[in-house]
Structure 1
Amino acid sequence: MTKLSDLGPLIPGKLHGGDLIREDGHFYNCPNCGQRVDQRDLRQVFWHEEPGHEPLEPEAEAKVIQFPRRK
């Protein structure tokens, strides 16, 4: 399983236009694997855009957040 740190150093993303958003507004669920993606870290965004990818392995210092799946 790939770790976020395996993808290299942080590639920060920026919000362009619009108003500031709440903290939870920076995240979305990947439609392919269901993992939460922090849009402020472009490594995560690029990883989750790749067809057939696996979820990233969580790391203690990484910003990948595991949420329980909704039933």
Structure 2
Amino acid sequence: MTALESNALLTRFSRGDISAIEVRKTLGDVTYGDLFRMLADARLAPPRPASTGREEQLARARAWMFPRHGE
């Protein structure tokens, strides 16, 4: 795989278009830590989980973790 292809794959992972497992297998079974090091080297952000449809769960978690914040 060329550097350009690797960068395109990492960019897709950073956007959340593909899973870490897909990327790791495509890149030759690299470790999870290696994957995040590669993201950092490419100056790409790690993917963020989607919050759509989970707003209620997230609100409960915030209230539990930061009880004084809601006062």
Which interval holds the TM-score relative to the shorter structure? Answer: under 0.3
Q: Which has the higher contact order (CA 8 A, sep 6+)?
A: 1
Q: Which has the higher strand share?
A: 1
Higher-Rg structure is: 2
TM-score by length of 2: 0.27
| Greater fraction helix | 2
